[in-house]
Amino acid sequence: MVRDRDFEIVRTLDDPVSLARFTALWAAREKSGSFVESYAGFPFKIDIAASRDSGRWLYRPDGTTAILSIKSTEMYVVDDPAAMNALLGIREPQSR
């Protein structure tokens, strides 16, 4: 499930084709070498269930993502942000 900064549901991925595409895009993400300093810059949340990456992940339209945690966590970058954004239903930059 994808939520925006106001926790409104943007999209739920529940069909086999979308889930397979998400799994492929997600598996191609790489560590960015940076750690989260503030969660304020992440306008979207991706709730993942039933995988080794289960939990709430924070996501930026530029493809940067990090798991929500009390501890400092490393950020990742998806390989194809445009494809991920289209799949997640993210159509325009979220600025505030």
What six digits make up the tokens of 21?
């595409």
Question: Which DSSP letter does residue 29 get?
Answer: -
pLDDT tens digits along 12-51? 999 999 999 999 999 999 999 889 888 888 999 999 987 7
64: phi then psi, degrees, rounded to nearest 5: -80, 135
pLDDT at 94: 54
pLDDT at 39: 82
List CB contacts of 68: < 8 A, sequence separation 6 or more: 39, 45, 55, 56, 57, 58
pLDDT tens digits along 79-94? 999 999 999 999 865 5
State the number of CA atoms in the 13 A half-sphere of 40 facing the CB: 3
pLDDT at 42: 93
Burial label, 85 (beta-carbon count in 10 A; 0-12, 13-18, 19+)? buried
Please state the domain extents for the chain: 2-88
What six digits make up the tokens of 47?
């709730």
pLDDT tens digits along 59-86? 999 999 999 998 889 999 999 999 999 9
